Amino acid sequence: MSEKKEFRGLKGLKKQRRIQIVALAAVALLGATGLVGYAMRDGINFFRSPSQVLSEPPREGETFRIGGLVVEGSLKRGEGTEVSFEVTDTNATVPVRYTGVLPDLFKEGEGVVALGQMQDETFVATEVLAKHDETYMPKEVVDALKEQGVYVDPNAKPES
C-alpha cells in the first residue's frame, strides 16, 4: 500500500513540476516580448504624407518619416550644407529644412523620404533619402499618391 501511495506522490510531483515549467516559460516569453517592445518604441518611424502631417499634426518632439515629391523650384541652398525644399503629395505641401549633404540622386520633381521632426510649420530633417533609379519610388510614397489618385506607373505601357 505504501508503494501505491509513493507512486501517487511521484506522479503528483511530476505534474506539479510540469505546471511550474510551463508557468516559468510563459513568464519568460512575456518578459522577452515586453523587452522587445520597449527597445523598439523609439526605433519605429512611421511614414506620413504631407496631407497626413497637416491634418493630424505629430506630437511635439516626435520623430517620424515624411515622404512625397520634391516641389519643382523649391530647392534653396543656404550657407554651408544647409538646404530647404518642399515636399508634396499634390494635395498638401510641407516645407523641409536639412543640414547635410543631399543624396546624389536627389532632384526636384522626384520622390523623397526624410526622417526628422516638426518644428513650428517646418519639418527639420536629420536624414534625407532619394530614389535610386528612374523607376523607383518608396512604397509609402506610391501608396500615398495612389490614395490621392495621381500615381502614374512608370512601367505601364502607353495605350496605342
H or E segment to which residue 129 belongs? strand 122-130
Q: Dig out the grid coordinates for 154 from the structure.
A: 512608370
**The pLDDT value given to residue 23:** 94
**The pLDDT value given to residue 105:** 83
Q: Dig out the grid coordinates for 51 from the structure.
A: 496631407
Overall pTM > 0.75? no
Nearest to 125 by CA among 85, 89, 97, 87: 97
- Does residue 62 sit in the same domain as residue 95? yes
- Does residue 110 sit in the same domain as residue 31? no
pLDDT in tens, 8-32: 666 778 888 999 999 999 999 999 9
Give me the CATH number covering residue 93.
Answer: 2.40.50.140
**The pLDDT value given to residue 83:** 94
155 occurs within a structural domain: no
- Does residue 90 sit in the same domain as residue 21? no
- Does residue 2 sit in the same domain as residue 58? no
Q: Work out the pLDDT band at 59, boundaries 50, 70, 90.
A: confident
- Does residue 118 sit in the same domain as residue 60? yes
Q: Are strands 64-70 and 47-48 parallel, antiparallel or unpaired?
A: parallel
**The pLDDT value given to residue 36:** 87
Q: What CA dihedral angle connects 70, 73, 79 and 81, to 10 degrees?
A: 30
Give me the amino acid identity at 23. A
31 occurs within a structural domain: yes
- Does residue 69 sit in the same domain as residue 55? yes
- Does residue 83 sit in the same domain as residue 28? no
Q: Work out the pLDDT band at 43, boundaries 50, 70, 90.
A: low
**The pLDDT value given to residue 158:** 59
Q: Work out the pLDDT band at 154, boundaries 50, 70, 90.
A: low
- Does residue 138 sit in the same domain as residue 80? yes
36 occurs within a structural domain: yes
Domain count, the chain: 2
Q: Which residues on neighbouring strands pair with residue 124, listed in sequence order?
A: 97, 117
The domain containing residue 19 runs over which residues? 1-43
More confident residue, 157 or 73: 73
Q: Work out the pLDDT band at 155, boundaries 50, 70, 90.
A: low
